[in-house]
Amino acid sequence: MGRKVRSETFPGRVSKLIFLSDSCGSCIEVLNQLANYSLSNHFLVLKSDPEPYSDADLEDISYKFPIFRSSKIVEMFGIQRVPTILTINAEGRIERVDELADPEQLGFCLEPSSPTWSKRDQGLPLGSPFPGYALNAGDTVEMVGEEGAVVLFLSTDCLSCLDIFSKLNLLIDKWPGKRIVLYIQGEESKVKSFLEENQINLPFHLYDPCQRERFKTSVFPYHYSLSIEGYVLTKGTVKDAEELEAFVDTGMDHTLKFEQGEQGGQGA
């Protein structure tokens, strides 16, 4: 709070600079893992300034290690994606830069660990109508596919999201009966560039903080599987395309069981 902080004031030598974000699911997992680490690792966590009217910075004090917030510092280091870890050698020079596409890679950067993916309690309730997609009398089923829909919330500065971007066309081929809906956080030019680079020919919605109250979603990547009526079957944070596929397949199983249950009831 206004005072200068120097690496010399910390016990030992700072050797890791860890850049994270409040809206990145992988970053939340990294924080959870760091909470179980010894301070002998000599790391500093850096984030951008909190968004206006956000209390994210108040959560920082619950951690035993320091979290510094400065958009200026993040820009000064040229950080484009998170989580990113910089390794500093004994002379204070950057020795290595690691972008963590998967939080499980944290162990290779710091020390052995057995991480588990963070299940963030956010999003719309299961069974609730997804805004704008639940069908009422007179609506058409064009809002969802023959087997429902998959709604993805992604960000252009999230490494886990990049894995999904790169494999999205393969997933689309596996779900021919589902409509894929994209909500993407980032500058419009950057979003279009990502879609073109990965040859994704899907319409998308730009996602900004003012929409978070409506969709209850602020950590990426995040998914919803919707029924043919537009109701939430499954939801959750995913760490890569493989886990996304597993979640969506679970949603398809839910739909199948529901339909079988209906038929069994009618037969009885």
Is it the case that residue 112 has pLDDT exceeding 50? Answer: no
Looking at residue 113, what is its pLDDT? 30
- Number of Cα atoms under 13 Å in the Cβ half of residue 235: 22
Is it the case that residue 53 has pLDDT exceeding 70? Answer: yes
pTM strictly above 0.95: no
Confidence of residue 2 (pLDDT cuts 50, 70, 90): low
At 62, list the tokens.
């619950």
Residue in the block written with tokens 């890791």: 16
Instruction: Taking residues 2-27, report their average pLDDT.
Output: 72
Looking at residue 109, what is its pLDDT? 72
Report how far residue 250's alpha carbon sits from residue 106's, in angstroms, rounded to the nearest whole number: 28
Determine contact, residues 118/29, Cβ cutoff 8 Å.
yes
Neighbouring CB atoms inside 10 A of 235's CB total 22
Pair type for strands 94-99 and 84-88: antiparallel
Quick one: three-class SS letters along 124-158? CCCCCECCCCCCCCCCCHHHCECCEEEEEEEECCE
Looking at residue 34, what is its pLDDT? 85
Is it the case that residue 47 has pLDDT exceeding 90? Answer: yes
- Between 258 and 30, the higher pLDDT residue: 30
Looking at residue 265, what is its pLDDT? 43
Looking at residue 96, what is its pLDDT? 76
**Strands across the sheet containing 204-206:** 204-206, 179-185, 149-155, 222-226, 232-237
3-state secondary structure of 204: strand
Report how far residue 21's alpha carbon sits from residue 145's, in angstroms, rounded to the nearest whole number: 34
